[in-house]
Each structure stands twice: as C-alpha cells, then as structure tokens.
Structure 1
Amino acid sequence: MLTVSRTLSIPETELVERFLRADGPGGQHVNRTESAVELRFDVAHSPSLPDVVRARLLARRDRRLTADGVLVIQGRRFRDQARNRDDVRERLAEIIRGVLVPPKKRVATKPTRASKERRLVGKQQRGKIKQTRSRKPDFE
C-alpha cells in the first residue's frame, strides 16, 4: 500500500514494477544486476484516485505520462534496487500530492497608472538610445 496522504492510498495491485539494468557506477557487477526500477501507474483507469485528482493528473503536461494515461517513472539514482524502488514510489506520491490541492483561481487585475507611465518612459528611453545608434555623422 502506497500512502499518498491521510485520505488517499494506492494498493500494490495498481503499481507495476519492472527491473532493468542501470548504467552508471558499479564496476563489473553493474552488468549482472537489475537495480534500476521502472514504475507504471495507470492514472486513467485507477479506481483509487478520485475523479478530480485523476482529471488534474491527466491534464498535466508531463512527458512521463503516455497517451493511454499511464504514468511511467524510472529510478536509477542509487546502486541498489531497494533504494531505487523506494525513490520511485516516493516520487509517484509527490506527483499525486501536487495535484491533490486545487490550483488557485487567478484574479484579473489591471496595471496601475504609475506602472503604465513607467513602461512608457522606459520605451521612450530605449527609443532614444536606438535613435542615437542609427544617426549618420554630420561631417560627411
């Protein structure tokens, strides 16, 4: 059972783990052990996720999310398989925790009069600088 928050937990049956050989440090032993972990979690068809959370997760522009709605996370940060497993599960929990809280609505505001004036003054100054660059000398 992967505990995401006090109200949300994901059963082990929904998590698919695959172990593969990792690149990086480890000497000759790295060629024989499968210490990297690939965790797959089907967001689109998960019964343990509330509909609101599922919609927010699927709406994210995340390259780890496939077209079928499966979240694929790879862990090869550590040399041993157990630490990589824990790391991948914690990263999945962090991703889900990030969408549990609904995003704040943006309140539309207008720029103040002073900020408009500052912007116009800045534009005039930049224009003058560019104008001095393009002038031809008078002595020709």
Structure 2
Amino acid sequence: MYKVSFKVQGSPGNLLKELKNSGFIPVYFRNNNGIENYVALIRSDDLNEVREAILDFALLAKRRGKFGGRDFATIFKVDDKLMGKAFGTTIGGLLGLKFAGIPGLLLGALGGLLAGEIMDVQLGEKVVGVEQWPVSLTG
C-alpha cells in the first residue's frame, strides 16, 4: 500500500471526488493560503500503478483549473502491520465495555480499529519519491 501527499494550487474548490475517481482513498484535506494539501492511500503494491494514478489525478485536476509544482506528489511506502489495529481494537473494546456495556464494546472496538489503522499508516511509512507536476500539462 502507498500513501501519497499532494500539493495543488489554482481555482477554488476541493478535488476529493477527483481523488476517488483516480483510485485513491482520501484521508486528509487542508487548504493553507491557497495551497491545497491532500493525503490519500492507494491499495497497490506496484509503484508504476501509483504513478499512473497520480497522472490521472493531475489530468482531472487540470480540468478543474488546478496545477502543481515540483513537489506535486510525495509518495510513501506503507508497511501494512497488524500491531496498531490489534492494540486499538483491544483497548477501545475494553474501555467501551467498562463505560457503556456491550454496545460500548462494539463501538469502542470499531473506533479502536480505525485509530489503530491510522497509527499503522503513520508509523510504518518511508519516502519512496517525489513527483513533479507533469510537463505535458503545463501551460
């Protein structure tokens, strides 16, 4: 699995729909002084597929009047681990059971699973490379 961080500028409006259409799973979006930052996951083990999805996203972004720079997409390789998910589910389930009974156990376990997944992604990543905005889309 790969995590990609995008930096995009241009006309107002977000590109979450375009991210989904390119095969990414959006995780995070922030607009900071006209620079939009997107973080998304893609379930693929092939770096070339990830680069093709980045190009697809750039094409869809260009149609919406957006553009990127030299640091358009930063690619991270994410090691899929189970430690965070197991720990989060256990702690969330136990806390939910203590405070709200059986319904709390279920909701706590689901919340812990989500928190554990986020922890696994954050701790198990390493930078693979940085892609610049495609030259063919400039101008």
Report the TM-score when normalising by structure 1. 0.29
Whose strand fraction is larger, Structure 1's or Structure 2's?
2
Greater relative contact order (CA < 8 Å, ≥ 6 in sequence):
2
- Structure with max Cα Rg: 1
Report the TM-score when normalising by structure 2. 0.29
